[in-house]
Amino acid sequence: MLCDLEHDELTPHIGGAQAIVFAAGAGPGSGPERKQTVDYGAAVKCIEAAQATGVDRFVIVSSIGIQDAVHAGPMRAYLEAKGAADDALRTSGLSWTIVKPGVLTDEPGSGTVDLSVGPARRDPVSRDNVALVLYHVLLADNTIRAEFELFDGPTPVRAAVEALQPGSGPVNVV
């Protein structure tokens, strides 16, 4: 079933979900208004739908560089929208995880990554590796209320996610 994140009521589309992964984005060709309605607005609609339907687990794909959005030139609107969505999720009461991928590539996934917290790097990560990390994050309670940056790297994904410990290592627990 298809759904328009900007215009549709989302709760009927949640069904019996156990978790929500928000990985949508307005895209590089869109203007600041669309970044606000998708990167922020649609994320908030999904958060509210999760709350309304009792889906506690929520993972959001965010972005590196949010902390420096004011100096980001043409990326500013995107980074501000992503940052506001992250803030909304942090205060939602849901069991959240914020994943901040590096520069996305279409290279085949290696199954190995580097999970870290700032300062923001501009290193690449394959979309395949992002998807694999998202899958493992959903299975790992140690990633609840954590945020981290994601890059291609030397550590097998499962081991990297399992090694994340709230309060230590490369996770920023809020």
Q: Which residue from 59, 82, 71 is spatially nearest to 136, judged by alpha carbons?
A: 59
Q: Kindly tell me if the per-residue pLDDT of 88 is higher than 50.
A: yes
The catalytic site residues sit at 78
Q: Kindly tell me if the per-residue pLDDT of 78 is higher than 80.
A: yes
Type of residue found at 106: D
- Percent of the chain exceeding pLDDT 70 equals 89
Q: Kindly tell me if the per-residue pLDDT of 28 is higher than 70.
A: yes
pLDDT tens-digit map of 119-161:
667 899 999 999 999 999 999 999 999 999 999 999 999 999 9
Question: What pLDDT, on the 0 to 100 scale, is given for residue 170?
Answer: 37
Q: Kindly tell me if the per-residue pLDDT of 54 is higher than 80.
A: yes
Q: What is the mean pLDDT of the chain?
A: 88
79-96 mean pLDDT: 95
Cα atoms in the Cβ-side hemisphere of radius 13 Å centred on 58 = 28
Domains of the chain, CATH where assigned: 18-173 (3.40.50.720)
Max avg pLDDT among 10-24, 30-44, 129-143: 129-143
Classify burial at 19, counting beta carbons within 10 Å of its beta carbon; exposed 0-12, middle 13-18, buried 19 or more.
middle
Query: What DSSP line would sit under 125-150, residue for residue?
Result: EEHHHHHHHHHHHHT-GGGTTEEEEE
19-38 mean pLDDT: 87
Stretch (H or E) spanning 168: none
Asked whether 161 and 133 are in contact (CB, 8 A), the reply is: yes
Q: Which residue from 58, 54, 42, 41 is spatially nearest to 15, judged by alpha carbons?
A: 54
Q: Which residue from 4, 34, 135, 146 is spatially nearest to 86, judged by alpha carbons?
A: 146
Question: What pLDDT, on the 0 to 100 scale, is given for residue 157?
Answer: 97
More confident residue, 117 or 5: 5
